[in-house]
């Protein structure tokens, strides 16, 4: 249920974009961002603006080329997204925020109960990730089938 406190905490009207980080949110996330690499040039990009760019894409669902010009270039935002996904930064940020929200709600940091229904159990017994990938990829036509259909078209003319 929305209370006046919830509405005040969720108010994003003072931000440039609703997806931008507030100062309080940035204070939580900033320590988890890895520092620039040693050696070479200093980091010239504002990391908070990079995160604002990532959140803008996620919030709006727009294409990368539609990223506003007042945010870092799309290539920079995308490169940081890939780097932070690869090195685990995004996972660490997600986990820290997850724990903070649970504790703010007065719950344990990690869930103590899990519910597994029979459909979930059946689905995981049949092969897990491998069977999911096979089920979600499109079937490919063989070269023989495409060659046959190509040759039969010319023969019948």
The more confidently predicted of residues 21 and 131 is 21
> Token pair for residue 67?
């990223």
- Placement of tokens 């023969």 in the chain: 155
- Placement of tokens 């092969």 in the chain: 127
The residue among 88, 63, 91 whose CA lies nearest residue 77 is 63
Confidence grade of residue 157 (pLDDT, cut at 50, 70, 90): very low
pTM: 0.63
- Placement of tokens 């029979």 in the chain: 118
Q: Is the pLDDT of residue 41 over 60?
A: yes
Do the Cβ atoms of 54 and 77 come closer than 8 Å? Answer: yes
- Placement of tokens 């929305």 in the chain: 2
Residue-wise pLDDT for 2-20, tens only, equals 788 777 777 788 888 988 9
Please give the torsion angle defined by the CA atoms of residues 17, 23, 28 and 34, in that order, rounded to the nearest 10 degrees.
80
Element (H, E) at 84: helix 74-87
Q: Is the pLDDT of residue 51 over 70?
A: yes
Phi-psi region of 92 (alpha: psi -120 to 50; beta: other; left: phi over 0): alpha
Coil, helix or strand for 48? helix
DSSP category for residue 63? -
**Cα–Cα distance for residue pair 57/75, rounded to 1 Å:** 13
């Amino acid at each position: 249920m929305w209370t006046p406190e919830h509405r005040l905490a969720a108010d994003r009207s003072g931000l440039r974009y609703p997806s931008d980080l507030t100062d309080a949110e940035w204070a939580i996330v900033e320590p988890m961002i890895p520092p620039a690499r040693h050696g070479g040039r200093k980091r010239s990009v504002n990391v908070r603006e990079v995160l604002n760019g990532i959140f803008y894409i996620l919030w709006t669902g727009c294409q990368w080329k539609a990223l506003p010009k007042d945010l870092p270039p799309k290539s920079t935002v995308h490169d940081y997204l890939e780097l932070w996904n690869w090195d685990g930064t995004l996972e660490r940020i997600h986990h820290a925020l997850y724990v903070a929200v649970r504790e703010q709600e007065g719950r344990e940091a990690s869930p103590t109960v899990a519910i597994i229904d029979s459909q979930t159990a059946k689905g995981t017994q049949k092969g897990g990730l491998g069977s999911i990938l096979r089920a979600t990829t499109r079937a490919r036509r063989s070269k023989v089938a495409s060659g046959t259909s190509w040759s039969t078209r010319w023969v019948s003319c």
